Amino acid sequence: MESTGLLVVRTVADLRRAVAGFRKAGRTIGLVPTMGALHEGHVSLVKGALERGDVPVTSIFVNPTQFGPKEDFSAYPRDEEGDFTKLREAGCRIVFAPTKDEMYPGEQLTTVTVAGITDGLCGPLRPGHFQGVATVVSKLLLMALPDRAYFGEKDYQQLQVIKRMVRDLAMPFEIVGMPTVREQDGLAMSSRNRYLSTEERTKALVMYRQLVKVADTVRDGTKSCSEATAVASQALRDGGFDIVEYFTVVDADSLKPLEHVTGPARVIAAARLGRTRLIDNLAV
Ligand code: AMP
């Protein structure tokens, strides 16, 4: 019988040893990369791994290289003990929580850049972000050597970047995209929702409502994508959002902007509410 429980590892050597133990027992491995401050969205990825028969391995690392100089790296919520409890309850078996030095020992001269699909949306608004993400995810994949890795559709552009990186570099891992987990009223769960005041929490819902509206409108063709998203952007500003960074309809794979929907598409938005940057998207 396999032992149960959550093993906490902090070094790559210990991670590889733990993973090798499960492999020797004939098990497959499912990696769930996270930055911690876990919520039901993260837990759904662990459950996704369990449903596919994988041993779930969750990484918790607030990756400094994917934050811009004016972004919330230092303020990013951290709650290691709370995270471990949630992972234990979800049935996760290994948590990899490395230090910065374990992830980036010494001078790092190698980065991974995915072009094209990072040209729009969050790409130009967060310079260096996707390079930071692609590089750290490459490292986590090579450290854990899983069969599958699980990512949320909540970060839709990130999911496409990772899928493309794995394809282009022939990395032998399957990337599984999982549906966005929402609060009862529709707000997408996010670690950053902890920043929202009660008043902002109410206003935040406008984004989800407008995404639903635009998806419906462009699906039935009542309005073009640019007309529908212009109305939605204004509704966000009227609803109390301070800055609408983008609100657009894109091709689901290439992430190129669309004027009319003829195939798989995604309505996708980023906007600021006080000090909080919220992103969300829906399938059209
Ligand atoms: P983060 O800790 O925010 O970097 O997210 C780690 C992983 O969890 C990423 O693959 C996210 O897309 C995913 N994730 C975050 N929020 C949600 C959510 N509400 N539903 C599903 N997946 C999510």
* pLDDT band for position 3 (cuts 50, 70, 90): low
Active site residues: 42
Report whether 74 belongs to an annotated binding site. no
For residue 104, the domain's CATH number is 3.40.50.620
State the CATH number of the domain containing residue 209: 3.30.1300.10
Cα–Cα–Cα angle for 168, 174, 177, rounded to 5 degrees: 100
pLDDT of residue 1: 42
pLDDT of 161-170, one tens digit each?
Answer: 999 999 999 9
Torsion of CA 187, 189, 195, 196, to 10 degrees: 10
Identify the domain containing residue 246 by its residue range. 191-283
Clarify whether residues 11 and 142 are in a common domain. Answer: yes
Q: What is the pTM of this model?
A: 0.97
Task: Write down the pLDDT at residue 4.
Answer: 73
Residues 59-104: tens digit of each pLDDT: 999 999 999 999 999 999 999 999 999 999 999 999 999 999 999 9
Looking at the structure, do residues 109 and 213 belong to the same domain, yes or no?
no
Which CA distances in Å does 275 have to 109, 188, 197? 33, 17, 10
Cα distance between residue 238 and residue 276, in whole Å: 17
Give whole-number Cα distances, 58 to 36, 84, 147, 250, in Å. Answer: 9, 10, 13, 31
Question: Cα–Cα distances in Å, from 186 out to 13, 25, 181?
Answer: 41, 41, 9
Q: 207 and 140: one domain?
A: no
How many structural domains comprise the chain? 2
Q: How far apart are the first and last CA of the chain?
A: 46
Q: In the numeric block, which tokens belong to residue 10?
A: 């902090």
- How confident is the model over 222-236, as a mean pLDDT? 97
Assess whether the C-beta atom of 34 lies below 6 angstroms from ligand 1: yes
E strand or H helix at 130, and its extent?
helix 129-144
Domain shared by 85 and 172, yes or no: yes
Ligand 1 geometric centre to CA of 187 (Å): 13
Is 192 known to sit in a ligand binding site?
yes
Q: Within this chain, do residues 25 and 148 fall inside the same structural domain, yes or no? A: yes
How large is the average pLDDT for residues 224-250? 98
Quote the CA–CA distance of 54 and 214 in Å, as a whole number. 37
Q: Where does a domain end: 178, 210, 228?
A: 178
Contact 182, 56 (CB under 8 A): no
Number of the ligand 1 atom closest to the C-alpha atom of 37: 2
229 located within any domain: yes
The pLDDT tens digits for 182-198 are 999 999 999 999 999 99
19-50 per-position pLDDT tens digit: 999 999 999 999 999 999 999 999 999 999 99
Residue 185 counted as domain residue: no
- Using the 8-state DSSP alphabet, how is residue 226 labeled? H
Task: Please check whether residues 199 and 231 belong to one and the same domain.
Answer: yes
